[in-house]
Structures are given as C-alpha cells and as structure tokens.
C-alpha cells in the first residue's frame, strides 16, 4: 500500500487509493463509473492548475505568455480553466482557433503553428487578431502576405527556425532536426526575415522554434535557445528586431521512470542562458500541463490464455487511446480496487476490442489477478488521449469528466450511436 502511494505521488499525485478505491482527487473512480458508464476519461483540475502555475512561477517578473498547446487536449472546459489562469493558446487549425475563442482566449494571446495553413485558416486567424503566425516555409510567408492584403489586415509573423537539435525523444515526436518537415533552416530563415521586414503587409514580431515532444532533460531546449539567440543577434545587426522569443513546448512528463524537471525549474534554466534579455517570452506547453492530470478508466471484459500468453481484454480500445498502438508508449495501469493479495501478480497483455493487432495498452505487464468487470485506470492519459480518439470500428467517443476536490462534472457526454451517422443519414434516401 505504502509503496504504491509513494509511486503515485511521484508522478500522479492527484490519483490515490482511499479506503481501497482509486480516486481522482477526492472522487472515487468506481462512483464515476456507476454515474457515467464505461469507458471514460477523468481529469484532475488541481493537477492542471499546479502545472500551469509552476510555469508562471518560473517566469517571475519576466514578460511572458504561456500559450497552451490546444492539440494536447482540446476539451473546451480545460481550455477555459487555463484561460482563467491567464493562458494563451497555441493552435494548429481553424477548429482549434474556434475552441480557443469560445473559451475566451483573446486574439493577442493566440499563436498559429503548423506547416500546412490553408487560405481559410489564415483569413480566420487574421480576422481574430492573433499575435502572430509561426511561419514554416517561403511559400507560406508569401501566401500570408497576399491574404493580408486581400483582407486589409497586417499579419504578425515569426519564422520557425529548425535549429537541427536532437531532442532525445521518440523519433515520431521529434521535430527540430534538419531531416524533419518542420521549420526553416537558419540561413534560409534569415533571408525570409529580410523579405518579411520589407513587406508592408507583414510585421516581424518574433522568432520561434519547437524541437519535439516528451523531452525530459533540459539540454536540448538550452541548445535550441542558444541557436535562437544567435539568430536574433544576427537579425538585430540587420536592423530587424524581434520582440518575442517563442521556444515552443515539448517538456515531458513521467510515464514510467522519466524524471523531467519541474516547469518552474525548466523555465529558470532557460532564462539564465538569456541573461536578462529584454524580450517577451513565449512557451507552448501542452503535455506537461494536462498529461498527468488524466486517466482512461475501463472495464475487464474477458481473460484468456493464448499462444503462451495471458490476455486481459478491456472495453476501451485504440479508438480511445492510440498512443500505445502507434508509439508502443508506456502508460501506467492500476486496478481501481486494490487487491486483497497485493503481492500476487500475473503477467498479462492488456488489449482492447478493436479489430487490429496493434490495439494494445500493455505488453507483458505485471498486474494483480483480475476478474471480469474489474475496473482499470490507464494513467498519464490527459494529453493526446481524447484529443487523438476516433470513431474507428463505429465506436462512440467516450465521456470526459473534470474533478475539482470533492466535486465533478461531465465536460463531454458520451456520443450516441445515432450521432455516429448524423452527417450521413440525410443522404441515405438519395443512394
């Protein structure tokens, strides 16, 4: 009991066993299962607040914007909670722009990232008065200028430089090396800044880089910052001033044995390198704010022995949480009710119901013996869980719950079967 509680406090402090039942803050996951059915996502408000405020603490009196990376978890209630704390938004689509606006985030705290911005998205962002676009190519810069002239709104821009820094993370979530599609190599970026400075419809506001995700040591970000500062100094010599330095996001969380720095410590380390530079700082954290706040709760359907392995089949699948299927990502899994025999374990494959061999949450995982209808909590699922879910195999989206102390509320209801075909039924008679 004590070992498990210590382990939870080290990475998932808002999930604890209370009287033998796993709780999110003060709310039993068993109780939530009875109220909303299974599977479901649950998030801790306290965990989200503490992570965001740790970033603020690190900045101290420095001018800054903490632009929450909406792609990590797009739920309106979570964006709204962060807006109340003072967050801006880092967006990558017009849908995320709409979500940020609905949550009350003002345009001057919104940044538009991504390599493939469409004409519609550029117009919408200009009309929303965003702070700047993170530009990723020469043709994108030209198109932003053209649309800015069409709508008669001057565009703020930053060039996303590719610093060719190894972030030491999974190759699928690494974005800052020269072989990746993201950003602009430094010599080409200098030329784009020269063009932007001469363009009457563009206003150079900042310089940006983002080297990847789930980075758990500070050295890659520090190396990237040194290269950003080098580019900024070169631009200054050319008479091009950049008032904002945007270092993207990417700070990791604990899934297993990782030991990432606390956000405040991470920020202070970056500011030390800059040496009191008079700029406005921007970070775009996502996973490190919401990742450890969330869990996917599911139920054991069946167990079987097959091919020399033990399988535990649950009612959640890769449609709900795809990270293990595409990255072989590790997520902690705990029974919602503690075993009467805590020292007795079995090794099992935890799999879902989807018709894909990759529909798996754990490989050869040591767990207590489980019975049918037992509940499991898949932890560290607050980021890139619900946001990457799908209707594959015609599975409805599961509900999401936000807990605050002893209170909880539904922040997305379960999708109905009828809603799965709502956009198709009107055309059925024409077939």
- Residue 313's nearest CA partner among 348, 365, 342 is 348
88-91 and 110-112 beta bridge pairing: parallel
Q: How many CB atoms lie within 10 A of CB 60?
A: 11
- Residue 191's nearest CA partner among 229, 146, 161, 218 is 161
What does each C-alpha distance from 336 to 15, 18, 374, 378 come to in angstroms? Answer: 10, 10, 8, 10
Residue for token digits 């419809």? 201
Structure tokens that stand for 203 in this block: 């206003």
Cβ 244 vs Cβ 132: under 8 Å:
yes
* CA distance linking residue 348 with residue 291, whole number of Å: 25
SS3 345: coil
Residue for token digits 């490190």? 288
Phi, psi of 86 (to 5 degrees): 110, 10
Residue for token digits 């798996």? 360
Q: Quick check: is 298 catalytic?
A: no
Of 23, 24, 298, 355, which one is the catalytic site residue?
A: 355
Cβ 183 vs Cβ 136: under 8 Å:
yes
Q: How many CB atoms lie within 10 A of CB 404?
A: 18
Q: How many CB atoms lie within 10 A of CB 282?
A: 25
* CA distance linking residue 407 with residue 120, whole number of Å: 40
Catalytic residues: 355
């Amino acid at each position: 009991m004590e070992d498990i509680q210590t382990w939870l406090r080290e990475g998932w402090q808002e999930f604890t066993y209370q009287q033998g039942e796993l709780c999110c803050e003060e709310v039993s996951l068993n109780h939530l299962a009875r109220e909303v059915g299974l599977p479901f996502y649950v998030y801790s408000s306290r965990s989200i607040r503490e992570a965001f405020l740790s970033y603020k603490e690190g900045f101290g009196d420095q001018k800054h914007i903490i632009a929450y990376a909406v792609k990590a978890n797009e739920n309106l209630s979570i964006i709204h909670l962060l807006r109340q704390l003072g967050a801006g938004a880092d967006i990558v689509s017009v849908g995320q722009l709409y979500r940020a606006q609905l949550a009350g985030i003002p345009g001057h705290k919104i940044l538009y990232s991504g390599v493939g911005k469409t004409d519609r998205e550029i117009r919408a962002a200009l009309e929303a008065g965003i702070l700047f676009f993170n530009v990723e190519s020469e043709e994108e810069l030209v198109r932003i200028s053209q649309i800015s002239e069409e709508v008669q709104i001057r565009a703020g821009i930053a060039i996303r430089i590719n610093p060719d820094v190894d972030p030491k993370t999974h190759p699928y979530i690494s974005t800052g090396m020269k072989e990746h599609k993201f950003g602009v190599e430094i010599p080409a970026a200098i030329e784009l800044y020269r063009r932007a400075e001469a363009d009457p419809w563009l206003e150079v506001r900042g310089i940006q880089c983002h080297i990847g995700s789930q980075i758990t040591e500070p050295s890659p970000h520090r190396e990237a910052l040194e290269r950003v500062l080098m580019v900024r100094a070169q631009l200054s010599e050319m008479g091009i001033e950049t008032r904002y330095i945007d270092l993207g996001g990417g700070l990791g969380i604990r899934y297993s044995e990782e030991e990432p720095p606390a956000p405040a410590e991470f920020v202070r380390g970056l500011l030390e390198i800059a040496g009191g530079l008079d700029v406005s700082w921007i970070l775009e954290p996502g996973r490190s704010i919401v990742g450890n706040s969330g869990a996917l709760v599911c139920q054991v359907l069946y167990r079987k022995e097959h091919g020399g392995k033990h399988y535990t089949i649950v009612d959640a699948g890769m449609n709900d949480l795809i990270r293990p299927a595409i990255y072989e990502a590790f997520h902690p899994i705990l029974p919602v009710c503690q075993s009467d025999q805590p020292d007795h374990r079995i090794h099992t494959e935890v799999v879902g119901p989807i018709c894909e061999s990759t529909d798996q949450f754990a490989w050869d995982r040591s767990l207590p013996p489980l019975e049918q209808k037992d509940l499991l909590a898949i932890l560290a699922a607050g980021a890139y869980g619900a946001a990457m879910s799908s209707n594959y195999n015609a599975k409805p989206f599961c509900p999401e719950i936000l807990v605050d102390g002893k209170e909880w509320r539904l922040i997305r209801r379960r999708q109905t079967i009828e809603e799965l075909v709502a956009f198709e039924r009107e055309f059925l008679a024409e077939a």
